[in-house]
Structure 1
Amino acid sequence: MATAVETLGKLERRITISFPLTDVRTEVEKRLKVQARTAKAPGFRPGKVPLKMVAAQYGYQIESEVLNDKVGRAFNDAANENNLRVAGFPNIVPKEEAVEGQLAFDATFEVYPEVVIGDLTAVEIETVQADVSEAEIDKTIDILRKQRVHFHTKGEAGEHGDGGEPIAANGDRVTVDFVGSIDGVEFPGGKAEGYAFVLGEGRMLPEFEAATLGLKVGESKTFPLSFPEDYHGKDVAGKTASFTITLQKLEWAHLPEVDAEFAKSLGVADGDLAKMREDIKVNLQREVAGRVKARNKEAVMDALIKVAELDVPKTLIAQDSERLAEMTRQDMAQRGMNVKDVPFPAELFAEKAERRVRLGLILSQLVGDNNLQATPEQVKAQIEDFAQSYEDPREVLKYYYSDRRRLGEIEALVLEENVVTYVLGLSKVTTKAVAFDELMGSNAQA
């Protein structure tokens, strides 16, 4: 039996559920007898263990199971009878005062809120678009060349030349020995032998690179170096050290020519340069389309948050915060980081969780009100689109359709796209062209 629903706040509710103690005892005895059929104990054949011994061994566990079952069933029945949409899990505690012969519990919980979505036709949304030009293709080819760079001893004649005068210049890879001291005392991390880096890439502090420029192999230089106040090494941050560097090795960078061999290294079997450029263009267009879609989705989600009115259940925020914390832990562990003893307070993820839960409730309302569910045809088309960038598209289809959870992720993605299309179709949309570099430098995520 359950009492009337008490309203404790905008979303918080409480009900008291109770049932006769005899019901619990009867069910416990029934389960103990079932357990006794297979119970084992020294000196007794299976199934012949005295019921008192079975009760002593399994009684507490069975009683807990019976209570959990009865309380859970009573709560669900009460929620259904009162047409309550319970958000998250209830907090159920024994009631201090109860009628003799009865067990009573207070169940405190939250319900899903009413979601009121404003006039979407009055919403203004700015979307973006971007194009892939020949300049972007050229820039990508330059990046691919740098990824395949070869270094040769500078000043020594070889197949590709000698690299020019054998003095350190930007773009060269230098190998140096160095030692640093502060007030005449060497400090941890201030000494190394055979340390290699490429000049001009910014891996070293500017003063260090500047001192290396112009050196020849075997030459040394002593110079002052001021560590920034925010330097990661706290012991030396904000201090000035004296460094001595000695150039041990000097190599110049040879970038591969853009020829048939280069095209073959990118997977173009016949080495056709025009086909190579077309492949690069297609890949860039796919990447641009994905970034544009993400930016525009974020703009729609931001607009929905502004136009929708609802209270967000704290229970759901707490659950999602825990989920985000665990996902972060697992991600860092997969990257090889030791996070065994690192705390991941869920509170750190509360703001992101609140946005995720809020959007989830808004999208659920829009989907239900406007029949925006993902269709099987849309899901298949989305997976086929993903599969285009893989050598064997059939394996990609198999990967998703063989796991209901993976398929659910695609369905959720399609559902979001349906919502985005629906909202953009109603709202006042303006489109802004963005530069390729600006778009590719962003990581928009709703």
Structure 2
Amino acid sequence: MTASWEKTEKNLGVLEVEVAADRVEAALDKAFQKVVKKANVPGFRKGKVPRSIFEARFGVESLYNDAIDILLPEAYSEAVEEAGIFPVDRPEIDIEQFGKGQTLKFKAKVTVKPEVTLGEYKGVEVPVSEISVTDEEIASELERLQSRHAELIVVDEEAAANGDTVSIDFDGYVGDEAFEGGKAENYSLELGSGSFIPGFEEQVVGMSTGDSKDVTVTFPDEYHAAELAGKEAVFKVKLHEIKRKQLPELDDEFAKDVSEFETLDEYKEDLKKEVADRKKREGDAARENAVVEAVAAAAEVEVPESMVNGEVENMMRDFDNRLRQQGMNLEMYTSFSGQTAEDLREQMKTDAEKRVLNNLVLEAIAKEENISASEEDVEKELQTMADMYKRSLDEIRGILGANGSLDSLNDEITMRKTIEFLLANSKEVAAPAEESAE
């Protein structure tokens, strides 16, 4: 097999490939073995038709598509390796020659990983904020804990307010027509949560137990259900019950209930340490982001759109997985939020482009500085995962090997070590007052 690579644009090129005739014949043999099992030829059982008779009846050309499907992927992979390129998208294949007794000739238009011209990446200034924890922050943490441990108490004599959870019936109409999904009974809704169509929850605020009311809203122009988008709807709402959060007292008993400490003062001291640790982690992450963005901004690279689109799809899968962990999925989310999947993809595009750019630059720095994941690094990471999931080291290695994630783990470790290298070679400077002030 011969392969030649010629760049036609910055990240595009053409791979010309010729595969020997004996491999074409071998692919035709495999194609024949596949299709002969289903061939109906009088006088022969399925799978027992000689190839010469098969070709005389159906023509050798009937094997070409299957043979190409067998030969092309392996030939393309070999050609990519021979040319030393790194494709980042599906190629556009143009088959120029294929037939019995002939070589296979094809051209592949390929988008490849872009070249990165690095700027200055050592001595980058990284802002660092001094860690301090204020009394106001501790008070805010305690308020959050109070809210989490609050009881929902039925309110009979007062009107519904933001923060209350109401039980309602609703029946929605556009004009005189009821629409699908617009009706529910004893639906539990937290007012102010923003989980309903804009304007709905605000109109329920002020209703009392037993009240009925027509709530008029307008569906967003980009609403997922096209037949409702931009239309005015009226919901007939009946309020059955109002529940309001009753916060527990902030005292020693509260501290005993929510922690291992006997007094509120002891618990406050522990909270202070927790907040300080969290701020340190956030500060470390901020420094990592700052140094990566700085070196990425200093580099020159043209990010292919296909890589951005691929990263968007990765982000969409991650988002869907997070939703499923919360008992939802992407379809339910778009239904509640009024956004389409395409809206979400468009919103993710800027972050996706930044991620791709950062990764390309980090890869280039790792190559320049000979940074890589050692066997010891990988074993340590695998052991951490084994401890976390309470599985044996061999089990974890087998699982990652089976789903092809070991290479990703190597890449992840290499990226982490590269960021550590950049931080070790950066200059820490005091963050501006508005950033460090708490």
Equivalent residues of 1:170, 1:198 under 8 A apart: no
Correspondence 1:10 to 2:4: no
Q: 2:292 aligns with which of 288, 292, 301?
A: 301
Cα separation, partners in 2 of 1:247 and 1:324, compared to 1, 3 Å? closer
SS at match of 1:338: helix
Secondary structure of 2:284's partner?
Answer: helix
Number of aligned residues: 411
- What is the rounded CA distance, in whole Å, between the counterparts of 2:328 and 2:254 in structure 1? 31
Q: Which residue of 2 aligns with 1:419?
A: 418
Aligned to 1:146: 147
Distance 1:62 1:290, change over 3 A: farther
Q: Which residue of 1 aligns with 2:331?
A: 338
Distance 1:410 1:84, change over 3 A: closer
Structure 1 partner of 2:110: 109
Counterpart secondary structure, 1:418: helix
Question: Which deviates further from its counterpart, 170-179 or 420-429?
Answer: 170-179
Of the structure 1 ranges 71-80 and 168-177, higher mean CA displacement relative to structure 2 is found in 168-177
Q: 1:6 to 1:36 in 2, by over 3 A?
A: closer
Cα drift, residue 303 of structure 1: 0.8
Q: Is structure 2 residue 390 aligned with structure 1 residue 395?
A: yes
3-state SS of paired residue (1:368):
helix
Q: Cα distance, 1:291 vs. partner?
A: 2.5
Which 5+ residue runs of structure 1 have no aligned equivalent?
Answer: 156-165, 180-184, 440-446
Alignment of 1:25-40 (within 5 A): 26-28=25-27, 30-31=29-30
Superposed CA deviations along residues 61-106 of structure 1, whole A, max 9, x for unmatched, are 96445434544454455445544444444322122899x9444211
What are the equivalent positions in structure 2 for 1:266-415 lying under 5 Å apart? 266=258, 268=260, 271=262, 273=264, 276-277=267-268, 279-328=270-319, 335-338=328-331, 344=342, 348=346, 350-375=349-374, 395=390, 403-404=399-400, 412-415=411-414
In the alignment, the residues of structure 2 paired with residue 32 and residue 210 of structure 1 have an alpha-carbon distance, to the nearest angstrom, of 70
Larger Rg over CA atoms: 1
Residue 431 of structure 1 aligns to which amino acid in structure 2?
A
Identity %: 20
What secondary structure sits across from 1:106 in the alignment? strand
- Give the RMSD, CA atoms, in angstroms: 5.8
Structure 1 Cα separation of the partners of residues 329 and 185 of structure 2? 27
Give me the whole-angstrom Cα distance separating, in 2, the residues matched to 1:36 and 1:63.
11
Offset at 1:115? 1.9
- 1:208 and 1:33, CA in 2 relative to 1: closer, same or farther beyond 3 A? closer
1:120 aligns to what SS in structure 2? coil
For 2:248, which of 247, 256, 280 is the aligned residue? 256
1:266/1:351 Cα in 2 relative to 1: closer, same or farther (>3 Å)?
same
- Look up the equivalent residue of 2:10 and give its one-letter code: K
Contact 2:31 2:67 in 1 (8 A): no
Q: Deviations over 1:39-81 (max 9, x none)?
A: 8989977975544687789988964454345444544554455
TM-fit CA distance, 1:328: 4.6
What pairs up with 1:160-309 in 2 under 5 angstroms? 253-259=245-251, 261-266=253-258, 268=260, 271=262, 273=264, 276-277=267-268, 279-309=270-300
| Match in the other structure for 1:161 | none
The Cα offsets for residues 201-228 of structure 1, whole Å up to 9 and x where unpaired, read as 999889869967xx9x89x999x99989
State the alpha-carbon separation in 2 of the partners of residues 423 and 151 from structure 1.
51
Tell me, yes or no, if the aligned pair for 2:169 and 2:238 is still in contact at 8 Å.
yes
Distance change in 2, residues 1:8/1:148 (3 Å): same
- Contact persistence 2:385–2:396 (CA under 8 A): no
| Structure 2 stretches lacking a partner, 5+ long | 224-228
Q: Determine the C-alpha separation between the residues in 2 that align with 1:51 and 1:423.
A: 64
* Pair 1:150–1:7, CA change in 2 (3 A): closer
User: How far apart, CA to CA, are the structure 1 residues paired with 2:48 and 2:114?
Assistant: 55
Q: 1:119: which partner in 2?
A: 120
> Kindly tell me: are residues 197 and 68 of structure 1, through their superposed partners in 2, closer, same or farther at Cα, counting changes over 3 Å?
closer
Distance 1:407 1:276, change over 3 A: farther
Distance 1:248 1:75, change over 3 A: closer
Match of 1:299, SS state, is helix
* Alignment CA distance shift 1:257-1:84 (3 Å): closer
